[in-house]
Structure 1
């Protein structure tokens, strides 16, 4: 059930009430016992995924996964 708050209490405690609404606890503001407005959180927009935004800006060499392999193996005492 949604909590009802009178307008005077809503003015006095607005920051706290808004924080609670953002966390999923909506409330109704009433005047003389009559509901006026319902405060609910705004849905957050989905994160924009920008896949491929740098497509063609650079190239990755075919041997990328082996670059520096001999040096790395030497550092660990492995035979190249």
Structure 2
């Protein structure tokens, strides 16, 4: 027959194993979350870079002499008005 001390050690070992398994599961989920967040940041940075290039391109298209003057909405009416 086993001694009570051996039963306590076995129960403590099972508890330690359970806690270790839970920590490994949490670490795995955390790593997956970090990977997803990193991918989202990469996509967002690519979008920011694209939008920055588009904005620079649009600014190059605006005539430099009209940059300081406010534009009238009447200037933008279609010709049939």
Give me the TM-score of the superposition, normalised by structure 2.
0.28
**Which has the larger strand fraction?**
1
Pick 1 or 2: higher relative contact order, CA cutoff 8 A, min separation 6: 1
Give me the TM-score of the superposition, normalised by structure 1.
0.28
